[in-house]
Amino acid sequence: MKRLLILLVPFLLAASSVFGQLVPAKTKVSLLLDAEQARAGETVTIGVRMQMPAGWHTYWRNPGEAGDPTRIKWTLPAGVTAGAIQWPVPEKVFAQEIYTYGYHGESMLLVSLALVPDLKPGPIELKAKVDWLECEELCVLGDAVVSAVLVIGSETKPSKDAAAIEAARKKLPGEQRKYTATWDGPVTGDKRPLRIEFAAKEPSRRFDLFPNLGDGWAVEAKTEASVAGGNVLLRKWVKRTGAAWPSQVGGILVEHDQDRLIAAHEALVEIAEKPTAAVPVAGWLLAKMMFLGFLGGLILNVMPCVLPVIALKILGFVQQGKGNVGAVRKLGVAYTLGVLFSFLLLAGVVLGVQRAGGAATWGMQFADPHYLLVLLVIMTLVTLNLFGVFEVMLDGSTMTAASDLASRQGISGAFFNGILATALATPCTAPILAEALGFAFSQPPRVVVLIFLAIGFGLASPYLVLSFRPDWLKFLPKPGAWMEKFKIAMGFPMLATVFWILSLTAPHFGKRGMVWLGIFVTFLALAAWVWGEFVQRSTGRRGLAKLLSLLLFVGGCGYSYLQLTSRDEIPWKLWSAAAVAQARAEQRVVLVDFTADWCLTCKANKRTSIEIAAVRAKLKEINAVALLADNTQSPPEIAAELQKHARAGVPLVLVYPKDGVSPPQVLPTLLTPGIMLEALE
């Protein structure tokens, strides 16, 4: 029941904004000041105290796998500015298979208030609207408007709550320390393991990293901790939700002795782009990938380019052996060695490409848009080949030389038959090979070789088995029209692979990426169809057809590629509260555009006043950060942010000043270039 309620938190957040609060919140909120009187020009600390009944909890800045962080909206007099929330170290709670970070009992969120030097003497009211989510068995949205009075005078006098504020300061994490980490294995789906290693005085204690919210990625709460050589090793999984993997991760590193918190400090974990050593491969994983490779090679034998020759080759071996069982078996072994030799050559090519490209992992390759584009071209052509749009054929002279070698009698002929079979089988790619090959590309040479040998052994195994048992030929399926249908059927899983690669590639090229990639693939398919239909299967005007196919590929695909890569647009990043906070901490101007695909006003603003040369130049000049908040599907976090700025919907454009503390400037609904440029000044 609790798990269900926690998972319903996003829907509760959205519903409450429409229907209002149905259940009263139980948490009591109040404001405390460390000074009852302060001098102008000084900084005072204000605390938002949250007192929760037994069993109830609120959430940290990163709530974890469910929940929502507490938010504070200040109403302050002129001359008083509020800093960022200083969050105390949270608890990590695991309940009903859900990890969350939050607070039980009582917590205090501290905020620094800066007073300008010319602030007039006298009392001033400090007001805050606090929104939070509290959960027990039920999750309830709470909000409260709280206030406190500070007197501006000639001297600073501590308040009766100064001791409580000081006690809350001691619960804050210590100053930031830097750590290094490396990726600890290949990408699995949209996840990737991260390994953090560091020295500790007491490595036997329990260490953990409570991560911050990420922008386009998220660090999962579950931690695998171990000790090696006196160092602490933390292994956490990173899930990618955007276009790229993170280069660094922030958070809090905590140290516990049993269940008692010993120390905690802010941590910045910088991720090395390339591991210093190859990641060791677990035996079961290697065995699984070798089995997939073997199975993929075996499937190649039922492709139209291979199956018809199996029976002919085995019968040829029997005839050459002249009834000598031992001679037939030797020919089968020689044939198998020829296949394995061919796959060793292919493995050598892969290792050469791997070394030349310097790619350490499969995941790193997937972070490169040009690599993804090349992969998209290859997978599209393989799919079209399986559907019979065109055929992959070796050059005539190459085939003649290979046939001459394969037509030899004896051991050498059988060996070269194996090489020829590999050449015939390679165009008939089996979809099941994709996972095994993708895994191999991220591994050291030994593993690459083993995977390719497994594929080769899968391709050669029917020949090897039948050379030992020729009487089993009667069990082979007879060649026929079904083989072409099987080949076409194999094209559909490959087509799914094309769509998957397309979905990975498009985000690298912005919002227009999917459209222009679709046009790119369409021109590629059209060029392949012209080649297959009018060059390979036609006898007339083949030269003209070759030229047309080349023009379609170079012209159409080339133009699409230029549209993809020569975009003159603002370098938008995905909006999140964490992204805004990080940019403000770096004291950079932040432009936030809350928009939606269905919003005509948003599109008009973008075309006339945002995506224009003058604004792009200004953003570059002031080193601003541009964040895009897409409200097309009305996510609750964006709905909450719109409500915080008193907007019922999009468009909303905010400009945060670079001082890092001042509130954002809310621009008018209808923009002009002058309004945009003035706001960015």
* Among 236, 245, 256, residue whose Cα is nearest residue 62: 236
d(CA 306, CA 388): 16
Where in the chain is CATH 2.60.40.10? 2-169
Question: What does pLDDT average to over the chain?
Answer: 79
Residue 509 pLDDT greater than 80, yes or no: no
- Tell me the pLDDT band of 315, cut-offs 50, 70 and 90: very low
Q: Cis omega (within 30 of 0) on the bond before 507?
A: no
DSSP string, 302-361: TSTTTHHHHHHHHHHHHHHHTT-HHHHHHHHHHHHHHHHHHHHHHHHHHHHHHHHHT--S
Q: What is the pLDDT of residue 136?
A: 75
Contact 179, 52 (CB under 8 A): no
Q: What is the pLDDT of residue 361?
A: 37
Between 27 and 19, residue with greater pLDDT: 27
Residue range 174-271 forms a domain whose CATH class is: mainly beta
d(CA 591, CA 664): 9
Residue in this structure with the two tokens 């090679």, named with its chain if needed: 297
- Tell me the pLDDT band of 23, cut-offs 50, 70 and 90: low
Where in the chain is CATH 3.40.30.10? 573-680
Q: What is the rounded average pLDDT of the residues 323-337? A: 74
Q: What is the rounded average pLDDT of the residues 589-615? A: 82
Strand 174-183 with 260-271, pairing: parallel
Q: What is the CA angle 635-638-641, rounded to 5?
A: 150
Q: What is the pLDDT of residue 409?
A: 52
Q: What is the pLDDT of residue 311?
A: 46
Residue 439 pLDDT greater than 70, yes or no: no
CA 401, 406, 412, 416 torsion-angle sign: positive
- Tell me the pLDDT band of 109, cut-offs 50, 70 and 90: very high
Between 435 and 57, residue with greater pLDDT: 57
Residue 263 pLDDT greater than 70, yes or no: yes
Helix 433-441 with 445-468: angle, nearest 10 deg? 140
Q: What is the pLDDT of residue 3?
A: 45
- Residue 206's DSSP bridge partners are 256
- Tell me the pLDDT band of 433, cut-offs 50, 70 and 90: low
Contact partners, residue 578, CB within 8 Å, separation at least 6: 61, 62, 212, 213, 214, 215
Q: What is the rounded average pLDDT of the residues 204-229? A: 86
d(CA 466, CA 328): 10
- Tell me the pLDDT band of 4, cut-offs 50, 70 and 90: very low
Contact partners, residue 658, CB within 8 Å, separation at least 6: 587, 588, 589, 622
d(CA 602, CA 175): 42
Q: What is the rounded average pLDDT of the residues 643-671? A: 86
Q: What is the rounded average pLDDT of the residues 93-117? A: 88
Residue in this structure with the two tokens 């101007």, named with its chain if needed: 589
d(CA 114, CA 79): 8
pLDDT in tens, 374-414: 778 877 887 888 788 887 654 444 444 444 444 455 677 66
Q: What is the pLDDT of residue 310?
A: 47
d(CA 58, CA 72): 14
Residue 223 pLDDT greater than 60, yes or no: yes
- Tell me the pLDDT band of 599, cut-offs 50, 70 and 90: low
Helix and strand counts by DSSP (H, E) for the chain: 21, 24
Count CB neighbours of 639 within 10 A: 18
Q: What is the rounded average pLDDT of the residues 592-609? A: 78
Share of the chain above pLDDT 70, in %: 75
pLDDT in tens, 491-501: 787 787 788 77
CATH code assigned to 2-169: 2.60.40.10
Q: Phi first, then psi: what are they for 34, rounded to 5°?
A: -85, -5
Between 250 and 427, residue with greater pLDDT: 250
Residue in this structure with the two tokens 């200040």, named with its chain if needed: 74
Q: What is the rounded average pLDDT of the residues 261-273? A: 89
Q: Is 660 left (phi over 0), alpha (psi -120 to 50) or beta?
A: left
Contact 652, 638 (CB under 8 A): no
Residue range 573-680 forms a domain whose CATH class is: alpha beta
- Tell me the pLDDT band of 486, cut-offs 50, 70 and 90: low
Between 348 and 279, residue with greater pLDDT: 348
Most confident range (mean pLDDT) of 264-278, 314-328, 427-441 is 264-278
Q: What is the pLDDT of residue 169?
A: 95
Task: Look at residue 175 and give its three-state secondary structure.
Answer: strand
Q: What is the pLDDT of residue 363?
A: 38
DSSP string, 355-403: HHHT--SHHHHHT-HHHHHHHHHHHHHHHHHHTTSS-----HHHHHHHH
d(CA 34, CA 258): 34
DSSP string, 55-120: T-EEEEEEEESS----EEEEE--TTEEE---BPPP-EEEEETTEEEEEEESEEEEEEEEEE-TTPP
